[in-house]
């Protein structure tokens, strides 16, 4: 569950297709990058790129969470701003992503978790593994300094998270996959049939 999220879209009059016209925001969570849609408090000031509380306690701008949405449900503007917000979110959680680079393991005999990051390639992956054995990476600047052939380390994570949100991946490293359309949650204490 997300406690905080970044605003990636603000629709002061809601969606055009809505019968009840009320302000709506589209959000991306800070922990699992969950895409959400929410109603807004009547007097709230909303700015794109703003971090808001979406947890049960302490909400000031968000009235209620309408639900989880998919990448396809995002507006064009939200899709355009999302990479920049993801970059900001990744930089805010730099330690988590550096920890991922320092501790990523093999998935199988042929596939390493680092293989799943776009733009890494075999040579950079081998360099990452070699360098982290010498000394764990401290931050993104350290990664870039020690492996100059590696393209923008933050951008690699942005691309991976975008691919996961778009539903293009077999393995989910940083997000939780949305349930396929039509799949219902099993009843409490019950099993799927």
Greater confidence (17 vs 159) lies with 159
Q: Bridge-partner residues for 68, per DSSP?
A: 36
CATH code where residue 144 lies: 1.10.150.280
Single out the residue of 36, 158, 139 nearest to residue 86, CA to CA. 158
The Cβ of residue 177 has, within 10 Å, a number of other Cβ atoms equal to: 12
pLDDT score of 63 more than 90: yes
Residue 193 reports pLDDT greater than 60: no
Tell me, yes or no, whether 192 lies in a domain. no
Residue 186 has pLDDT above 50, yes or no: no
- Alpha helices by DSSP H, listed for 43-152, are 76-92, 94-103, 121-134, 140-146
Which pairing describes strands 35-40 and 4-11: parallel, antiparallel, or unpaired?
unpaired
Question: Two tokens at 19?
Answer: 């019968």
* 162/169 Cα distance (integer angstroms): 10
Tell me, yes or no, whether 98 and 161 share the same domain. yes
Q: Tell whether the model's pLDDT for residue 192 goes beyond 70.
A: no
Residue 175 located in a structural domain: no
**Whether pLDDT at 188 is above 60:** no
Asked if the structure places residue 183 within a domain, the reply is no
Distance, CA of 131 to CA of 50 (rounded, Å): 36
CA–CA separation, 69 vs 35, rounded Å?
Answer: 5
Structural domain harbouring 21: 4-80
Residue 178 is assigned to a structural domain of this protein? no
Q: What is the CATH number of the domain that holds 66?
A: 2.40.50.140
182 inside domain:
no
99 and 60 both lie in a single domain: no
Q: What pLDDT is recorded for position 179? A: 59
Q: Output the pLDDT for position 108.
A: 87
Model confidence band, residue 90 (pLDDT cutoffs 50, 70, 90)? very high
Same domain, 70 and 121: no
Domain boundary among 20, 52, 80: 80
Integer Cα distance of 10 and 37 in angstroms: 10
- Is 59 domain-assigned? yes
Residue 73 and residue 10 share a domain: yes
In the chain, how many domains are there? 2
51 and 109 co-located in one domain: no
Domain identity same for 76 and 99:
no
Same-domain status, 56 and 109: no
């Amino acid at each position: 569950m997300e406690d905080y999220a970044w605003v990636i879209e603000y629709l002061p009059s809601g969606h055009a297709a809505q019968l009840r016209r009320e302000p709506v925001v589209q959000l991306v969570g800070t922990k699992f990058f969950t895409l959400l849609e929410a109603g807004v408090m009547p007097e709230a000031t909303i700015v794109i790129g703003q971090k808001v509380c979406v947890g049960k306690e302490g909400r000031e701008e968000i009235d209620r969470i309408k639900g989880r949405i998919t990448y396809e449900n995002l507006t064009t503007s939200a899709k355009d701003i999302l990479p920049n917000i993801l970059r900001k979110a990744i930089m805010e959680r730099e330690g988590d992503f550096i920890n991922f680079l320092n501790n990523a393991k093999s998935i199988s005999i042929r596939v390493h978790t680092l293989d799943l990051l776009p733009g890494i390639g075999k040579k950079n992956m081998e360099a990452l593994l070699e360098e982290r054995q010498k000394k764990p990476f401290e931050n993104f600047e350290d990664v870039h300094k020690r492996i100059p052939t590696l393209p923008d380390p933050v951008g690699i994570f942005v691309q991976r998270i975008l691919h996961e949100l778009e539903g293009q991946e077999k393995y989910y490293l940083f997000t939780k996959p949305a349930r396929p359309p039509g799949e219902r949650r099993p009843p409490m204490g019950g099993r799927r049939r």
